[in-house]
Chains A and B, each alone.
Chain A
Amino acid sequence: MDRGLALHGAIEDTCETVREESALTDEEIREIASDAIDARWDEHSDRDEYASEAHYRYDRQQCLAAIEDYFDGDGLEHARNSIATEAWLECEREGVALHGRVDNVVKTEEGIRIIDYKSNLKGIISGYSKDAVVTHLAGEDHNPRRVKSMFQAATYIEGVKDLPEYEAGMDVEFTYYGLLYDTETKGSVDGIQVSVRGKGRDVGWIYEAYYDEIWELIGEYYDAIEAGDYEPDSVALQKEHACEDCTFRAMCPDYLAGGVSVDE
């Protein structure tokens, strides 16, 4: 069940429509978004993947609520100023070429805001956890998800500079937007009601603050991938911090090896 596809698709459709038809009222944008999530939900969801009709409907209700909340707030401005959605961005730095597909690029008063939509902000770097980049680089800790969120920021922040809309000296902000950041339910005789509040987290400043460390890490990983070297530096750290949350551990030879090894 991929709620993400439906949510991303609905925002993309809405932004595209708003780009094409200027001078839309807030209400009209909301209606477009509402129609878009309806259509995208039908396109991407699969009832057979749910154990019950009720669960299927509940997930749909959450998606609708997320889109409604987004376009009741920041989404309106984002849609009106959207330059590109689902666009490929590329960058190259010291021989390391990175590319990725960005969810939304929005023009702001100061420059450009890049937005990556998520369900929530779990695992995304924050002001509180920003030192994760340094400890990860030093091999003192293992923070793959937070570091990854910085790699993504690096790719897009540098990549956006190739867009024609970018002018030298512009501020480039990168925002992770958790569309289902806060989900609350309330009992009702007609069935449980769900309300959703999204939240954005700007991380461009963390990228600026740890620019060197981030690119050093990217360089290290780039070289390792090029060389086909996937051995982790510290298996123990990885097991401690990453394996329990990893969807792939059930199939991971390194993870399983501990249980079947005959060696000492």
Chain B
Amino acid sequence: MSEQKVSTEAVGSEEESEEMTPRPDQQTIIDSDDYPMRVLAGAGTGKTFTMVRKIERLIEDGTPPDRILALTFTNNAADSMREKLVEKLGSRGHDIEAYTYHAICHELLQEFAYHADLDPRYDIATEADQFAIVYDVLDEMPYRFTKPEVFDPDGYGKGAAQRLLGFIPAMKRSGITPEKLETYLGEPADLLELDELIERIEAAADEHVKVSWHKPTHDRLDEMCEGLGALKEAIATERQSLETDGLAVDVRSFCSELEATCDQLATLLTDRADEIVDGDLKPAFKLPAYLFGAYSSPPKGIPKVGFTLTGKLQSFIGNCQVASDLTAGYAAYERRLDEETLLDFNDLVIRANALLDDEDVREWVTSQWDYVFCDEYQDTDTVQFELVQQLVTDDRLFVVGDDDQAIYEWRGANIENIGSRLSAAFADLTDETLEENFRSRQPILDLANDALEHLDSRGSTKELEAIGEKRDATKGVVTIDGAEEPEDEAQQITNAITRLLAGESELAEKEYDAGDVAILVRKNKHAQPIIRSLERAGVPYELAGDLADESIGVQTVLAYLKALADPGDEISLNRVLTMRYRLHDADIARLNATEEPLLEELQSTPAERFREPERVEAARDDFMQLLDLRDTYSLTRLYRELKDVTSMEWFLSEQERRDLAQLDELIASFDDGAIEPELSREFVDFLRLHGEITESAAASSEDQPETEDSAVDIMTIHKSKGLDFPVVVLPQLTAGEWSPNERTYDTLEHALSGGSVLDTDFARRDEHETRRVFHVALTRAEELSILVGASGEGSEDDDENLPDSVIEAGLPESIPWEVGGVEFPIWEMIQSCLPDNFDDGTETLATPMDTDGVVTGMHDGDTLARGPARKRVLSLARSLLDGDLDAVDPTTVGIPVEALDPLDTPTLRRRHSYTSMDTLSTCGRKHYLDHVLWAFEDPTGVNAGERTTAVESSSGGASVREIGVLFHETAERAAIRGAASPAEWIEIASQLAATRGLNHALDDAVDCIDRYFECEASQWEVITAEREFTLELDGFAVTGVIDAVCRTPTNKLVILDYKATTKKRSLDEDLQLPLYVLACEELFDEPIREAGYAYVGEVGPAVETRSFTDEDVETSKARVVEQLRAANTSSFEEYTPGEHCKWCPHRSLPCAEEAELD
């Protein structure tokens, strides 16, 4: 057995390999040597698994891993692929060339900067850079056709800045440069003249086909046909007067269609003359004038057509005019990027494509790889498609994706890239599909399949099919007829979730945890009422991704930043005074009572005039202190200071803290930007708008959000792609909320990419995408898909109106737009697809749980149900605050903590880990507070001065914990990527510090890295890193993460724990190493009996290990079990005062006083 084989077996568990045996259709793909190959793999069919296994097979058959290039969309996906290969192939897996589409371009441009005519020191423009530059170039637009207004984000309309922020990436993703736009759009004067052309056509329609008579006769219809002839001639004259290049060519095509419509309408009027004169089609004589814009609204008898022909032309010309203004802004943006030596994400791909146009370079680059593998190919945009084409040699391309999950067209992705374009680019394409779904029950999949049935442009006919028990499942889809008001519907959803969590529903077979449930929304606004409703019910939830900034706590932090940016913003300042400092109503009123600015009043009013002066003083001191720092601190540092000085987080709920963490990350990312943004109102607005901006601009928005184990996840459907949950709730399934739309620059972008302005109905195209979005949403659910929606009111058909078919007959077939407009009646579609035995949960699952009658507490002789018990506790708390609470012996009040829990489910679950056991050995109360209750920590500044000082490192700011986190994450990432040099580690640490908001810990972490590389352990082969485990011992479950398992040069396996601490640990006393040794017995086939610490903190560098005999292991097991038993019964009453109280986050409790610290 080779050495490599040993290590492979050492890290793969039996359970995993059994689970991961490829299914026959996957095996066919894995074994095939046909290239190029396209695999259309449905949701949950294991497409990435199949791709990884195929790569693995190639490597096992002798292809060196570094001859394979694998492209993904996110760093996480690239890392995960590499990780899986390492697990199967050992360290050879590191050598796979796995990149994101942007990263490979960055790599190439760095390597060939000279050829690409680039300064290799270029930076990548962050979102903040792009935002700042757009604001900077606003005055470089001519505003000939657009208003220059820049709106507050609360406004309804899109202002100049938002328009430009949307326009630039839309053009760049299709490879459309400002020069190309300028050439196409032509001179502004010519664009302006096109308005007049439309006016002239409408005037001609008014003259020739709009009539004053009301009763058609055969003669009058003949006359109208002649009028149509005259109109056609007038349009032809206009067409002939147009230039023969650029936009004029497309306007010419438009005019030709209008002329053809004249003929078609004349034919209609002639062919159906009898019905028009004497029958039901009388209103048809008004159709020509209506379609050519001579009526401002549909005349009687003409139904809702949804468009007029001149209106369509006007809309296209109007968008071109706006684009001509924005093109100047786009060009100025490009110049600024150039001046600042910046490239944005789209530039990376565009410049790499240009680089690869050089045949010598391309030859060299493509000679590096034998195979190119692409994941999620349906999400590629035009320039990424071109990139892949340039990178492939000898057609050895493997792409995997799902045309049915193409939901990013609105952001530039082109579904044809995995369809017709790919077929055209590679003639000998082998096609395979994966249709076996491992995730969902069959009824869910049936509905998901049906959602796609009506897609005429679908690239495949695949149907998802469940396997095993799930295939035979008859349950899985529950519908709820949503209430009319979103708030009421939100209550229905909350009721349903409450029942599922309490196991109180016949529609579910078991009790679910909050973390099992996800609510996936189509639009951000759908989340709002649900959040409020869950909040009221006390159901824990997690807002993923861009939804987090809707949180009240985050809004207050943003208001604080806004007030610092502009102290004259009294609304923001008042919010801060109310929400953070909780000033008394009377004090708020006093501060606002005068004409003087609020800040001046806050500063100058003597404290004694306030009812609660200490609160006012705290607000004043904090605000003035931060205001002093505003102009000297960087934004990120000021933000950190804001959180420290105000102890803001202490005032936030657990939920809000999670939400704030996302703002932390966003702000931290600006540290890495090339331009340091200034704190301004606009910038804070940008933070609020971030979600909307990233949707249109950044590559990072494809990153999947972290999901929460103990809370209901709420996220947009787009964010949920790639994730799955046992229960998925889909709210607001109505035609109105799911209505498809044509996007502003669709036609222009299409025309500039070689399409015709008249070959696509973009609203229909969006309807297809909307169906796919629904398909993606449905296929996230494993067991239960809860659909909440309602039918639209629907317009009543007027019998006197012309039927749509007559209007269609009046239009040439080449006109792409649908008469009546495009709709997606989603609820009606769902109803028509439901199986006979579907579950309607409207009257059951969605109704409130009756908990009123259940006695949960006693007080003062009263028996109290859940609600009244909670009210009683709150009323006692108020009395306490008001100072009029009668003496109460808490032990005599019979209201248990559980009564305060709005859900009838156990929430105090004890989870054990080494950290929790370590805490218990110090103090039982701290264990109870930190690991059972998850209690809030003391706010900074409350008896915590020493604590802060003690954990801060000497070099300023970062705590030992933060340094440790950064080092550990770096080590993990380095292990996955096979990074083995200090420079590579430092590079990884820098990236992580920027994204995790830990830049202030970077220097210390780099010191740790240096120390690590001075240790002999840095020379050892890392077999696995950050290995998670769950160990069952005597009925207890204990979880943990092993930093690393290494192989020494003498072939010995060693468990290592990295310590960035300032003190050394006892090898004999601590339970950590024995616990890991026990865990490894379960994880790996062979026992590992050597374990120790690698000290990378100030106490290092050093590696200290010890050996464990069988007897040691047995003794350790007994000690661990004993400790777990104690951890299962820890309580608030047990505490141990001592030196540790100095650093305790609950030091404000009276127990700390007993420690009698100096």
- B145: nearest residue on chain A (CB-CB)? A187
* CB of A128 within 8 Å of the partner chain: no
A247 to B571, Cβ gap below 8 A? yes
Contacting pair B143 A58 (CB below 8 A): yes
Distance from A37 Cβ to chain B, minimum over Cβ atoms (Å)? 19
Contact B867 A188 (CB under 8 A): no
**Residues of A with C-beta under 8 A to B149:** 55, 58
Instruction: Kindly state whether residue B153 has any CB partner on chain A within 8 Å.
Output: no
CA distance A13 to B491 in the complex (A): 57
B195 interfacial by beta-carbon distance below 8 Å: yes
Q: In the complex the two chains form, is B150's CB within 8 Å of A52's CB? A: yes
Could you say which residues of chain B place their CB within 8 Å of the CB of A260? 552, 579
Of residues B147, B555, B570, which shows the largest number of chain A Cβ atoms within 10 Å of its Cβ?
Answer: B147
Q: In the complex, which residue of chain A has the Cβ closest to the Cβ of B148?
A: A54
Q: Pick the contact of B874: A52, A55, A253, A262 (CB < 8 A).
A: A262
Given that A51-B138, A58-B147, A187-B321 are contacting pairs, would A263 and B532 also be in contact in the complex, using a CB cutoff of 8 Å? no
Residues of B within 8 A of A189 (CB): 144, 188-189, 192
B575 engages A251 (CB within 8 Å): yes
Max chain A Cβ within 10 angstroms of own Cβ: one of B143, B160, B867: B143
Asked if A53 meets B139 with Cβ closer than 8 Å, knowing A192-B144, A251-B572, the reply is yes
Q: Which residues of A contact B867 (CB under 8 A)?
A: 264
Contact partners of A191 in chain B: CB under 8 A: 142-144
Which of chain A's residues has its CB closest to B161's CB? A51
Residues of A within 8 A of B579 (CB): 256, 260
Residues of chain B within 8 A (CB-CB) of A188 are 144, 192
- Do the beta carbons of A187 and B144 come within 8 Å of each other? yes
Q: Is B535 an interface residue (CB 8 A)?
A: yes
- B135 close to A (CB within 8 Å): yes
Within 8 A of A (CB), among B169-198: 188-189, 191-192, 195
* Alpha-carbon distance between A256 and B141 when the two chains are bound, in angstroms: 40
Provide the bound-state CA to CA distance between A53 and B150, in Å: 11
- With the chains together, A185 CA to B189 CA distance in Å? 16
Contacting residues, chain B, for A169 (C-beta < 8 A): none
**How close is A25's CB to chain B, nearest CB, in angstroms?**
35
For residue A261, which residue of chain B has the nearest CB?
B536
Q: Evaluate contact between A259 and B160: CB separation under 8 angstroms.
A: no
Q: Which residues of A contact B570 (CB under 8 A)?
A: 251
Q: Are A259 and B535 also in contact (CB < 8 A) when A54-B143, A251-B574 are?
A: yes
Shortest CB distance A258–B (Å): 7
- Knowing A191-B142, A259-B535, A264-B867, the reply to whether A55 touches B148 (Cβ < 8 A) is yes
B578 close to A (CB within 8 Å): yes
Nearest CB of chain A from residue B412's CB, rounded to whole Å: 27
- Indicate the member of B148, B150, B535, B870 with the most A CB atoms within 10 Å: B148
Q: Does A250 contact B (CB under 8 A)?
A: yes
A250 in contact with B188 (CB, 8 Å):
no
Interface residues on B, range: 35 or more
What residue in chain A is nearest B577 (Cβ atoms)?
Answer: A251
- Residue-wise interface mask of B (124-146) relative to A, using a CB-CB cutoff of 8 A (1 in contact, 0 not): 00000000000100110111111
Q: Specify which chain A residues have a CB less than 8 angstroms from the CB of B191 in the assembled complex.
A: 187
Considering the complex, give the chain B residue whose CB is closest to the CB of A51: B150
A residues less than 8 Å from B571 (CB atoms):
247-248, 250-251
A16, B321: Cα distance in complex, Å = 44
Interface check B682, CB cutoff 8 A? yes
Which listed residue, B150, B195, B574, B588, touches A55 by the CB 8 Å rule?
B150
| Nearest B residue to A264, CB-CB | B867
Chain A residues with Cβ below 8 Å from B150 are 50-52, 55
Number of A-B contacts (CB under 8 A): 88
Is the beta-carbon distance between A192 and B555 smaller than 8 angstroms? Answer: no
Interface residues of A in 235-258 (CB under 8 A from B): 247-248, 250-251, 253, 256, 258
Interface residues of A in 36-72 (CB under 8 A from B): 50-55, 57-58
Judged by a CB distance under 8 angstroms, whether B871 is at the interface is yes
Interface centre among A51, A190, A259 (most CB of B within 10 A): A51
The chain A residue with its CB closest to the CB of B138 is: A52
Task: Tell me the complex Cα distance, A125–B150, Å.
Answer: 30
In the docked arrangement, what's the CA distance between A131 and B867, Å?
41
Which residues of B are found within 8 Å of A264, using beta-carbon distances?
536, 867, 870-871
Closest residue of chain A to B685, judged by CB?
A: A51
DSSP class of B's interface residues: helix, strand, loop or mixed? helix
Tally chain A residues at the interface, Cβ within 8 Å. 28
Contact with A along B836-872 (1 / 0, CB 8 A): 0000000000000000000000000000000100110
Q: Which residues of B contact A250 (CB under 8 A)?
A: 555, 559, 571-572, 575
CA distance A256 to B575 in the complex (A): 9
Does A54 lie within 8 Å of B138, measured CB to CB? yes
Does B585 have its Cβ within 8 Å of any Cβ on chain A?
yes
Q: Which of B908-933 contact A (CB under 8 A)?
A: none
Q: Is the CB of B321 within 8 A of A52?
A: no
Chain B residue at smallest Cβ distance from A52: B138
Closest to B868 in A: A264
Write out the residue numbers on chain B whose beta carbons fall within 8 Å of the beta carbon of A190: 144
Q: How many angstroms from the CA of A187 to the CA of B321 in the assembled complex?
A: 9
Complex alpha-carbon distance, A185 and B144, angstroms: 10
Set of chain A residues within 8 Å of B139, measured between Cβ atoms: 52-54
Q: Which residues of A contact B145 (CB under 8 A)?
A: 187, 192
List, in ascending order, chain B residues with CB within 8 A of A57's CB.
148
Q: What residue in chain B is nearest A194 (Cβ atoms)?
A: B147
Assembled-state Cα–Cα distance A143/B579 (Å): 28
Check B141–A54 contact: CB distance below 8 A: yes
Give complex CA distance A262, B875 in Å: 12
Give min CB distance, A174 to chain B, whole Å.
27
Chain B residues within an 8 Å CB radius of A259:
532, 535, 552
Q: How far is the CB of B38 from chain A (nearest CB, A)?
A: 47
Cα A51 to Cα B148 in complex, Å, equals 10
Within 8 A of B (CB), among A50-107: 50-55, 57-58
Bits for A147-161, please: 1 = Cβ < 8 Å to B, else 0.
000000000000000
Q: Give the docked Cα–Cα distance between A261 and B653 (Å).
A: 11
- Chain B residue numbers with a CB within 8 Å of A258 are 532
Residue of B nearest to A263 (CB): B874
The reply to whether A192 and B575 form a contact with Cβ atoms under 8 Å apart is: no
B192 proximity list for chain A (CB < 8 A): 187-189
A86 CB to closest chain B CB (Å) equals 17
State the Cβ distance, B762 to closest chain A Cβ, in Å.
Answer: 24
Q: Mark interface residues in A175-194 (1 if CB within 8 Å of B CB, else 0).
A: 00000000001011111100
Q: Give 1 or 0 for each of B564-589: 1 = CB within 8 Å of chain A CB.
A: 00000011101100110000010010
A195–chain B nearest beta-carbon distance, Å: 13
Chain B residues contacting A192 (CB-CB under 8 Å) are: 143-148
Is A52's CB under 8 angstroms from B160's CB?
yes
The answer for the CA separation of A262 and B552 in the assembled complex, in Å, is 14
Please measure, in the bound complex, the distance between the C-alpha atom of A157 and the C-alpha atom of B147, giving whole angstroms. 39
By a CB distance below 8 angstroms, the chain A residues around B574 are: 248, 251
Residues in A whose Cβ lies below 8 Å from that of B138: 51-52, 54-55
**What chain A residues lie within 8 Å of B572 (beta carbons)?**
250-251
Q: Which residues of A contact B141 (CB under 8 A)?
A: 54
Q: How far is the CA of A53 from the CA of B399 in the complex (A)?
A: 49
Give residues 189-219 of A contacting B (CB, 8 Å).
189-192
Assembled-state Cα–Cα distance A167/B404 (Å): 79
| Contact mask for chain B residues 543-572; partner A; CB cutoff 8 A; 1 contact, 0 none | 000000000100100010000000000111
Report how far A53 CA is from B870 CA in the complex, Å: 57
A247 CA / B569 CA spacing, docked (Å): 12
A57 to B150, CA, bound (A): 12
Task: Tell me, in angstroms, the Cα distance from A250 to B153 when the chains sit together.
Answer: 14
Sorted from nearest, which 10 A-B pairs have the closest CB atoms? Answer: A54-B148, A251-B574, A52-B138, A51-B150, A251-B575, A187-B145, A259-B552, A55-B148, A58-B148, A53-B139
Q: A250-B571, A259-B552 are in contact. List 8 more A-B contacts (CB 8 A).
A: A52-B148, A54-B141, A55-B148, A187-B191, A250-B555, A251-B578, A260-B579, A264-B871
A-B contact pairs, 17 of them (CB 8 A): A52-B150, A54-B139, A55-B149, A55-B150, A58-B143, A189-B192, A190-B144, A250-B575, A251-B574, A251-B575, A251-B578, A253-B578, A253-B588, A256-B575, A256-B579, A260-B552, A264-B871
